[in-house]
Amino acid sequence: MTVFDANWALLTPEIVLGALAILIFTIDFMTGIHGKKPFIGRLSVLSLIITGALVVMTNRTSGSIADVFIIDPYALIFKLIILSGVVAVILISMSYLEKHKEVYQGEYYSLMLFSALGGMLMVSSADLITLFIGLEIVSISSYCLAGFKKHHRHSTEAAIKYVILGGTASAFILYGMSFLYGLTGSTSLVEIGASMPQLFQDYTFMIYLSLFFMLGGFGFKIAMVPFHMWAPDVYEGAPTPVTAFLSVVSKLAGFGLVLRVLVTGFEGIYQEWAFIIATMAALTMITGNLIALSQRNVKRLMAYSGIAQAGYILVPIATIITNVGVNVLMFYSVAYLFMTIGAFAIILLVTEDTGSHDLNSFAGLFSRSPYMAVAMTVFLLSLAGMPLTAGFVGKANIFILAVSGDMLWLAAVMIVTSVISFVYYFGIIKQMFMVEPRANDKTLSPSLGTKVVVTVAFTFTLVLGFLPGWLMDIFTTFNWMRLL
């Protein structure tokens, strides 16, 4: 296929989003560096909504550009998740940026849009080159966002650590990709997947080496143990809205890429890597939950919580690759989006008001803002897996999947680590309801964007807990044909 034969209309959402990101950056530049610019944030949200509408319109039917850029239900759902996550992050960022004048709004919002663009490219890529381009768009934007408070030592430290370790992870990914290209002469995951069984038989060691290098690089991006050490420091040092972005959008886009690569390129040797992924999932759940027990900084606690959640999301990939398995992964990804972004919206509200990231900053939150305290409780219980929440339904489905995939030991690890997570989540709940507010604490006044994000996340977390069938029914109608 030549460039003249390709159906470039399939790239319409990505092209439009890239153009709008550049336009917003230009508008900010033309209106001066300093000053309040709430319209920039609103334009960014509008840009993402327009992109989401284009995704729904152009991604309803499957198609591809020479098996390099693929449109299928899998890409559709993950793109909507990514766009929704970035919209939520921007909404909770608006009041934060107005308060912190050292963060330039135009660059911030543009980088958020470019990150969304990179994530969209990642989940639709079936070629080593295009997926790496998408991955690096997200990574470079994240490096810049992590160090946006450039006059603060912790933010600068976070950015330096992130860029050095992230660059190393990218090098590992490229090195692993080079083995595949050297053996096949192609960068297409479809072609690589078709020849994988024979390649593994002829070049077993080289395929293992390629897989391990790529898993190491991807493991860094999703904070999978033992490639997780960067996450707590970066989450703590980065601006809190950026921490929310890294914990939700960047992580879920990474999972979208990992599943695409493993199933499209390595499905022929599934039995060889399934146990490796299962082992990494168990280690990730155990490490994240155990270390979270000793954390007093709420952002570091959420970092280790996010590491543990990565382990739960890895389980469907490790246990069984069928339409049912993808349905379960998609459901938990949606649940994770709402319960985590809602929690971070309240964390941002509380820590900005108190000027502290210690757990005691939540002291007496129920007295200061009953609605926010109740909502935060629901988000935390959902993350822990309490019944009648979205997190419980998602974990229950994953547990059933692990049992049906003959991985009872992995299902047991899920149960034990979920019980452990209740301990540190209840530490925050105890502060909100059982500790008196500090003398100088006042009633919280959340911004409109924060109220919208918390309300939507709160609603979906409960609705998916009480009535999960409607979303699972939607996913069941999809045939993840391009993925499987």
482 falls within a domain: no
Phi, psi of 467 (to 5 degrees): -130, 70
82 falls within a domain: yes
Place of tokens 């909502």: 375
Query: Are 334 and 464 within 8 A, CB to CB?
Result: yes
Domain total in the chain = 1
Given this model, what pLDDT does residue 6 score?
A: 64
Q: Which range marks the domain in which residue 420 is found?
A: 8-476
Given this model, what pLDDT does residue 231 score?
A: 87
26 falls within a domain: yes
Given this model, what pLDDT does residue 420 score?
A: 94
pLDDT, tens digit, 9 for 90 and up, residues 286-309? 999 999 998 889 999 999 999 999
484 falls within a domain: no
483 falls within a domain: no
Given this model, what pLDDT does residue 459 score?
A: 95
Given this model, what pLDDT does residue 106 score?
A: 76
pLDDT, tens digit, 9 for 90 and up, residues 139-182? 999 998 888 877 777 778 888 888 998 899 999 999 999 999 99
pTM of the model: 0.92
120 falls within a domain: yes
Helices (H), 100-188: 105-124, 128-146, 153-184
Q: What percentage of residues in the chain have a pLDDT greater than 70?
A: 95
Given this model, what pLDDT does residue 2 score?
A: 54
Mean pLDDT by 10 residues, the chain (484 residues): 64 91 84 66 91 87 76 89 94 84 75 93 90 92 84 81 90 93 89 90 91 92 88 88 91 90 86 89 94 90 92 87 82 94 93 86 88 94 92 92 89 93 92 82 83 94 92 85 53
2 falls within a domain: no
Given this model, what pLDDT does residue 34 score?
A: 58
**3 state SS for the chain:** CCCCCCCHHHHHHHHHHHHHHHHHHHHHHHCCCCCCCHHHHHHHHHHHHHHHHHHHHHCCCCEEECCCEEECHHHHHHHHHHHHHHHHHHHHHHHHHHHCCCCCHHHHHHHHHHHHHHHHHHHHECEHHHHHHHHHHHHHHHHHHHCCCCCCHHHHHHHHHHHHHHHHHHHHHHHHHHHHHHHHCCCEHHHHHHHHHHHHHHCHHHHHHHHHHHHHHHHHHCCCCCCCCHHHHHHHHCCHHHHHHHHHHHHHHHHHHHHHHHHHHHHHHHHHHHHHHHHHHHHHHHHHHHHHCCCCEHHHHHHHHHHHHHHHHHHHHHHCCCHHHHHHHHHHHHHHHHHHHHHHHHHHHHHHHHCCCEHHHHCCHHHHCHHHHHHHHHHHHHHHCCCCCHHHHHHHHHHHHHHHCCCHHHHHHHHHHHHHHHHHHHHHHHHHHHCCCCCCCCCCCCCHHHHHHHHHHHHHHHHHHHCCHHHHHHHHCCCCCCCC
> Could you give the C-alpha distances from 11 to 64, 123, 135, 176, 206, in angstroms and in order?
10, 13, 17, 28, 34
380 falls within a domain: yes
